[in-house]
Amino acid sequence: MANRVAADSVSGPGLGSDVSDAARRRAGWMYGLGTVVFAVYAIWLITGYGDYLPARDLYLYTALLAIPAVSFTVRAFLGGRTAVAWRFFAAGSLLWLATDATYILTTASGADAPGWVDWTYIVATGCFYVGVVLLARAVLPAGNSNVWLDGLIITCTVVAVGTLFFPQFLQNFSGTPVEIFADASGPMIGLLLVSLLIAVIGVMWRAAGPMWWWLLVGAASLWIADMLWLTELAEQTYDNGALLDLGWPAGMFTMGVAAWWPAARDRPLPQLRWAVPLSVTVAAFGIVLHATQTSTPQITVAFAAAAVLFGAVRSAQAFRAVSRREEAQRQAIADDLTGLANRRGLAVALESHPTSQRALLLIDIDRFKQINDTLGHQAGDDVLLQVSARLRAAVPPGAVLARLGGDEFVALLGPGAGWEDAVRAAEDLHTALGAPVQARDIEIQVDISVGISFAPQNGTTATELLSSADRAMRRAKAERVGSMVFDQRWESGQAGGLLLMQDLRRALEQDEFVCYFQPQLDVLTDEVVGVESLLRWQHLERGIIPAGQFLPMLEQTAMIRPLTDFVLDASLAQLRHWDDQGLHLRLSVNLSATNLMDLGLPLRVAQMLTQHRITAPRLTLEVTETALAGDQERAHVVLGQLHEIGAQLSIDDYGSGYSSLQQVGRLGAQELKLDREFVTGAGQRGDLQSILSATAHLAHGLRLRMVAEGVESASDLDQVRAVGCDVAQGFFISPPRSAEEITQWMTIQRAERALDGGQP
């Protein structure tokens, strides 16, 4: 659950974004006044060094400590995901304030400080330590164990160093062992606090928000002051009113400032930050080597050895992460069956020379469905493997061969390839498949149809080139000529398409379109947290028709705009109706490539949200990667305006489109929706599990909510939950249903959960 919320909330300016601007301004005024008070205190202390003055050393000093205590307390009561962490900071600062006041009042009169004072300082620092741990858990993705391993490495090394040098240092102290331990524990715990903060910042690095740096400076100031105090205590030179007294209010004051700053910047978490743990592990190993030559306390050796052991675990973890990432990246651009490039690999190859003359050959195996249906899928796979091997050997040097799926292959010729090169390559492909292939001891003659398109004449994106080549290939298949080059003079429509367009216009005028809804499940709580709106056509003769059978034809027409407006308006109206019934959900709506060219869309969305009294963050607009393959500049303008009004953006069908991996980080999205191709069957297939896990890690590293679409079985859902996805969607949970059916279904689900005590 924590991981899912992190993906929701860290996508803005950081964890500090749950604080209103008004509250942040009031805190700024308070700290502005506090800075003046601190300056007065510092000047007074410097000019009156050595003299104890109650007005300065008691009242003004404790007033300075009260400012961060109030700051932490107010920040905790403002709520948000980090409220519990700030409560620990508030408790620690209030305890520190009370203890300091008691210490000053007691020692100023010449009496010894109560014995419990040192212990309360330790408890106060411990509260800060717990607060930092809770903040780290809020900002870092669930399953990111690096920070905890780094913290263990640094902590063990710090303790080893402390136990190596502290015994000699503590020989100067007088008192019982318990008193000496109490005096020395404060600085040691302070050093552990600094170590933990360094570990967190080391993992987040540039993604670390200003909050962490303020906390680090404040904790370091407290620790330095504690160490100087311990030194003066050993030399019996410390007294109230010393310059050292600047250190503690400065540290507390600085940590209080941190409460009002963001915890994370709008940048992805780095994949590996190994410099800090590696350096500390080397230092710990040096202590172990030192122990082999000199007499060293056993506790020092034990902690140093533990640090080295944790360092080895960290190194092994980093190696596995790199291996998984490389394998996931390879699988992301490679076809599972043939090892050829897939759609993404084809897009990467095309983007490598965006302005060059290129030729694209779309290859389709004739009668492949008949082979599959007659001999079975295994025989079909055997045919695909043999065909891919022959095509790989036949394509010219510098060409990229890819499999799009099913029985379709693509050969992208190298830069500079012209008409003659493409025709010659097509002839070579036909020649390569002249001899029969073997499948289940049967010789099968395989024929192919090839459609050819050129960049930039027929398009500059993979979508455009494939569309042109597909039309050429289908005409080659229909006319049985083997290969055909796309001709822009071909008519763009057919009679059947014109009749369908007339039906669609009538359907829009007579309200034959309806919205179905498919639930989205929080995999940790098993609660329905959202729905995706899916358009359906209630055809008078053919019944319910899915959007995939008519939307592609509308994409290039003016009808797509009113149809999109209908879906948004009807879905938001239904969302308001559910709100009135006590069912509070998020709504996801798909946008097409044409919608992203509509500069008026953001304003209409804002008006609909206002009309239906729906807050913008509850609306998620899903955009496929292929929808961004056209005029990207204009699309980014529309997406940017949608983001400004507060609507969330989702990268839909991730893994099946044509965009590069770099595009993910540029969209400003809050959600990544993995294509069903990589989810369905993940419960039984190790390769899909690897892709699913790597994509979840990528999404959370980019602070995106991870949605797995295509959950078709209980094992799929278990795997989605195991790898850390946030939300699941698929027929196993529920197929798309009408608004009435989905309302009844959700009511039953919630009633069953209530009977089960709310257990997932």
Query: Mind listing the pLDDT tens digit for each residue in 521-571?
Result: 999 988 999 999 999 888 776 567 777 767 766 766 677 888 999 999 999
d(CA 696, CA 706): 6
Least confident of 7-16, 312-321, 451-460, 519-528: 7-16
Give the span between the Cα atoms of 658 and 643, in whole angstroms: 23
Q: Are residues 219 and 252 in the same domain?
A: yes
Report d(CA 407, CA 183) in Å as an integer: 76
The pLDDT value recorded for residue 633 is 80
Transcribe 378-442 into DSSP letters. Answer: HHHHHHHHHHHHHHHHHSPTT-EEEEEETTEEEEEPPTT--HHHHHHHHHHHHHHTSS-EEETTE
How far is Cα 113 from Cα 117, in angstroms, rounded to an integer?
A: 7
Euclidean distance between CA atoms 728 and 519, whole angstroms: 9
Strand pairing category for 527-539 and 586-591: parallel
Do 574 and 715 fall into the same domain? yes
Residues 657 and 675: their CA atoms lie apart, in Å, by: 9
Query: What percentage of the chain reaches a pLDDT higher than 90?
Result: 20
Q: Which residues, in sequence order, are CB contacts of 10 under 8 Å at separation 6+? A: 139, 263, 264, 703
Beta strands in 473-512 (DSSP E): 483-485
Residue 760's SS3 state is coil
Contact 743/583 with Cβ under 8 angstroms? yes
Among residues 295, 324, 353, which one ends one of the domains? 324
Supply the pLDDT for residue 1.
32
- Of 380, 381, 409, 416, the C-alpha closest to 395 is 409
Residues 317 and 404 in one domain: no
Instruction: Mark whether 583 and 655 lie in a shared domain.
Output: yes
693 part of a folded domain? yes
CA pseudo-torsion sign 173, 177, 180, 185: positive
Which of 164-168, 622-626, 677-681 bottoms out in mean pLDDT, i.e. has the lowest?
164-168
Burial level of 464, CB count in 10 A (0-12/13-18/19+)? middle
Comparing 713 with 502, the larger pLDDT belongs to 713
In a domain? residue 502: no
316 assigned to some structural domain: yes
- CATH code of the domain covering residue 718: 3.20.20.450
Work out the pLDDT band at 437, boundaries 50, 70, 90. confident
What pLDDT shows up at residue 145? Answer: 55
The tens digit of pLDDT for each residue in 467-493 reads: 889 888 888 887 676 888 887 755 444
Whole-number Å distance between alpha carbons of 567 and 558: 15
- What is the reported pLDDT for 494? 45
- Which residue do the tokens 């069908």 mark? 653
Classify residue 414: in a domain, yes or no: yes
> What pLDDT band is residue 5 in, cutting at 50, 70 and 90?
very low
> Which residue carries 């509250």 as its tokens?
23
Computed on alpha carbons and rounded to an integer, the radius of gyration of the chain in Å comes to: 33
* 337 phi and psi angles, rounded to 5 deg: -80, -50
**Residues 435 and 317 grouped into a single domain:** no
pLDDT tens sequence across 178-211: 666 666 677 777 877 887 888 778 777 677 778 8
- What's 297's DSSP letter? -
- Based on the domain organization, do 317 and 369 belong to the same domain? no
CA–CA separation, 335 and 342 (whole Å):
5
The larger pLDDT score, comparing residue 40 to residue 109, is at: 40
User: Is residue 216 within 8 Å of 197, Cβ to Cβ?
Assistant: yes
Are the CB atoms for 395 and 425 separated by under 8 Å? Answer: yes
* CA 180 to each of CA 99, 183, 223: distance values in angstroms, whole numbers, following the listed order: 19, 5, 17
Q: Look at residue 325 in the predicted model and tell me its pLDDT.
A: 65
Asked if 263 and 82 touch (Cβ cutoff 8 Å), the reply is: yes
CA dihedral 361→366→370→374, nearest 10 degrees, is: -90
Residues 192 and 254 in one domain: yes
Sign of the Cα pseudo-torsion (16, 20, 25, 26, in order): negative
Q: How confident is the model at residue 752 (pLDDT cuts 50, 70, 90)?
A: confident
336 lies in some domain: no
Q: Is the peptide bond before 602 cis (omega within 30 degrees of 0)?
A: no
CA dihedral of residues 636, 638, 642, 645 (deg, nearest 10): 110
Chain centre to alpha carbon of residue 93: 34
Lowest mean pLDDT among 252-261, 453-462, 553-562, 720-729: 553-562
621 forms bridges with which residues in the sheet? 589, 649
Q: How many domains does the chain have?
A: 3
- 108 and 246 belong to one structural domain: yes
C-alpha to C-alpha distances, 689 to 716, 718, 719, 721, nearest whole angstrom: 9, 11, 7, 11
* Residues 131, 184 contacting (CB under 8 angstroms): no
Q: Are 207 and 265 in contact (CB under 8 A)?
A: yes
173 φ/ψ angles, rounded to the nearest 5 degrees: -90, 150
Final residue of a structural domain among 266, 294, 324 = 324
Query: Residue 553 and residue 668: Cα distance in Å, rounded?
Result: 29
Using the predicted structure, report yes or no on whether residue 604 has a pLDDT greater than 90. Answer: yes
| Cα-Cα-Cα-Cα dihedral sign, residues 566, 568, 570, 573 | negative
The partner residues of 590 in beta bridges, in order of sequence, read 622
In a domain, 491, yes or no: no
Label residue 685 exposed, middle or buried (CB < 10 Å: 0-12, 13-18, 19+).
middle
Assess if residue 234 is contained within a domain.
Answer: yes
Q: What's the CATH code of the domain at 435?
A: 3.30.70.270
**Which residues partner with 539 through β-bridges?**
543
**442 and 556 together in one domain:** no
Q: Answer yes or no: do 116 and 208 share one domain.
A: yes
Residues 224 and 319 occupy one common structural domain? yes
What whole-number distance in Å separates Cα of residue 377 and Cα of residue 337?
12
- Token output for 87: 């409560």
Is pLDDT of 709 > 80?
A: yes
N- to C-terminal Cα separation, the chain: 12
Residue 330 lies in a domain: no
Q: Using one digit for the tens of pLDDT, what is the confidence trace for 248-276? A: 888 888 998 888 887 766 555 554 456 66
What's the gap between Cα 646 and its chain centre? 19
Residue 678 above 80 pLDDT?
yes
- Alpha-carbon distance of 499 to 514, in angstroms, equals 21
| pLDDT score at 649 | 92
pLDDT value, residue 496: 43
Segment 311-337 shows an average pLDDT of 68
The count of C-alpha atoms lying within 13 angstroms of the C-alpha of 632, restricted to the half-sphere facing its C-beta, is: 12
Contact 129, 90 (CB under 8 A): no
* Phi, then psi, of 360 in degrees rounded to 5: -120, 125
Rounded to an integer, what distance in angstroms lies between the CA atom of residue 291 and that of residue 220? 29
Mean pLDDT for 309-333 is 68
The whole-angstrom separation of Cα 220 and Cα 753 is: 49
Q: Which residues contact 31 (CB under 8 A, 6 or more apart)?
A: 67, 71, 253, 256, 257
Domain identity same for 745 and 616: yes
Position of tokens 């620690």?
Answer: 92
Name the average pLDDT for the chain.
Answer: 79
Is 80 exceeded by the pLDDT of residue 223?
A: yes
Q: Say what the pTM is.
A: 0.42
Residue 316 or residue 274, greater confidence: 316
186 vs 6: CA distance, rounded Å: 33
Query: How many whole angstroms separate alpha carbon 706 and alpha carbon 226?
Result: 45
- Token pair of 400, please? 């990229």
Tally of CB atoms within 10 A around 450 = 27
Range of the domain at 687: 520-752
- SS3 letters for 89-103? HHHHHHHHHHHHHHH
